[in-house]
Chain A
Amino acid sequence: MRNRIIELLSAALPMVNLDSDFLFAELDSLGVTTILMVLSEEYGIVLDAKDATPRNLKTIDSIVRMVENKLAMK
């Protein structure tokens, strides 16, 4: 899943450094929206504005955890 998320986000946000240890700081509102929409569409999960927290979007690994948690709740 991690590789797939990197693949998806690299294509959607080529200007963002996905290796950053504080990814959230690199994102503008369009970037945050794009991540949530790409992941919602790929995994059929519901992500809303409340999920766009610095904790959830801190690194690629925290994004993977957020998706795993949402899938577990489905």
Chain B
Amino acid sequence: MSLEQRIEHFAKHTPDKAAVICGGETLSYSCLWERIRKRAQQLTEAGLCAGQPHFFLATQDADFIVTYCAVHLCDAVCVPLESSMPQERQQQIRDELNDKYSPPKGGRSVSDILYTTGTTGMAKGVMLSSEAWTANAENLIDRLGFSSELLFIVCGPLNHLGSLSKIYPTLMTGGTLYLLESLKDMSAFFSVFTLPFSRFATFLVPSSIRMLLQFARKELTAVAPKVEFIETGAAPISGHDMELLCQTLPHSRLYNTYASTETGIVCSYEFSKYGPQPGLLGTPMKHSRVRITEDGRVVCSGETVMSGYAGSPEATAQVLQNGEVYTSDIGSIDENGMLRLQGRMDDVINVGGYKVNPSDVEDAASAYGLIQDCICIPVPHIVLGTAPKLLYVPRQGQTIEPKNIADFLRGRIESYKIPLFYEAVDAIRRTYNGKLDRKAYLAHQQRKG
């Protein structure tokens, strides 16, 4: 059964049960279903056809859920875009997709195209079928234990797999979603726990967990008996933060999950049960399989994997081969069949769960007239884990204020890609064939610790 069929089911059987709560508004299952049907009718009248992409911003509200499900009800394709995405980039995506997109021939039909830097770091449209979503949901229901009594707090962007994937198991089991803009307002997060529910759960990236442990441990301790489970993922979490979270929430189930838009939700490790171990991501879930290539690359297959990159068969062929997604992650499988991650093969910078391809930053910064050459490198950050830093060579005789570079980049690239650190240098190191010598900068950074 699809997500929309499940919502319709609960609209009939538990019509008054809260489905979505956001900003003081509560939508019951019957109300949610009614709004989805009406929105689908409006979209059809406006000319939306089956198989056609529908672009909309991933606002963190009930209206997003309504539109998302309504587009599916029209058999059209959801293309949720990051709400902070610059207008120019939005238009570029629309133009590219309208120009190049054609549904894959045979096999599953596409229900979503998610624009994400994903496992490759390149901004591509990942095509997902409704079957892949159902498999993801069943993986989560089976491993994490979603139920109709659960209130799941979503506080991450709904155009990303990490948060969007939680809509499915929550509403497919008749539970309740609580949508928050972000975790910036911690008091808003903790006020959710005053609602008359007995079981709460959420997904938090490691930097959010660190912030909660640092600044709100007392509050977290106070709500501990109500926390059924917390899932983390998208970036490495430290052993120290895992241990502290286990101590703070001694009765909650705590999971570290391996997932990406391309692979779907693949493995999860319950570190509250088996002990905190950084990099350990557990065994594959029921619809997923993992293997490691001879050179240590993590390869995933199963029902959850993507259908390909929209309008880009060449890029698809590089990553998706015979139903297997070749990730850029390096890992191993231990004697218990658990996946352990050891690093990445590529240059992607993981900024608190957001994947940044440094060449996107370099291309944008190179367009700033006063910069002669530049490179974007990862540096340690106390909150985010790693953050982008731009090393730049000013044109001869020019002095550049880093703030001016940041202002220039704002509006050209997504906000999470804008470097937090800047340094003027005399030259950028390149390899003998003229490519940026990223390895040299990474080695230098590692020596600095």
Q: Which residues of A contact B (CB under 8 A)?
A: 12, 14-15, 29-30, 33-34, 36-38, 40-41, 47-49, 52
Contacts and interface: CB of A to CB of B under 8 A. Distances in A.
16 contacts: A15-B402, A15-B403, A15-B420, A15-B422, A30-B383, A33-B214, A33-B215, A33-B383, A36-B214, A37-B383, A38-B382, A48-B214, A48-B215, A48-B216, A48-B218, A52-B215
Given A14-B402, A49-B186, A40 B214 contact: yes
Contacts, number: 39
Interface string B394-410: 00000000110010000
Interface string B174-185: 000000000010
Contacts of A40: 214
Contacts of A47: 215
Contacts of A41: 382
Nearest to B211: A33
Interface of B: 184, 186-187, 211, 214-218, 381-384, 402-403, 406, 420-422
Contacts of A34: 381-383
Most chain A beta carbons < 10 A, residue from B215, B218, B381, B422: B215
B115 to A, nearest CB: 23
The main secondary structure of chain A at its interface with chain B is helix
Contacts of B218: 48
Contact of A14 (B217, B382, B422): B422
Contacts of A36: 214-215
Nearest to A28: B184
Return the 4 tightest CB-CB contacts between A and B, nearest first. Answer: A49-B215, A29-B184, A48-B215, A37-B382
Nearest to A48: B215
Contacts of B383: 30, 33-34, 37
Nearest to A52: B215
Contacts of B216: 48-49
Given A34-B382, A48-B218, A49-B186, 7 more contacts: A14-B420, A14-B422, A15-B420, A33-B383, A34-B381, A47-B215, A49-B187
A35 to B, nearest CB: 10
A37 B384 CA distance: 11
Nearest to B406: A15
Contacts of B421: 14
B199 to A, nearest CB: 25
A52 B421 CA distance: 23
A30 to B, nearest CB: 6
Contacts of A52: 215
Nearest to B218: A48
Contacts of B406: 15
Contacts of B422: 14-15
Most chain A beta carbons < 10 A, residue from B216, B217, B382, B406: B382
A34 B211 CA distance: 10
B182 to A, nearest CB: 8
Contacts of B403: 15
A27 to B, nearest CB: 12
A14 B423 CA distance: 10
A38 B381 CA distance: 10
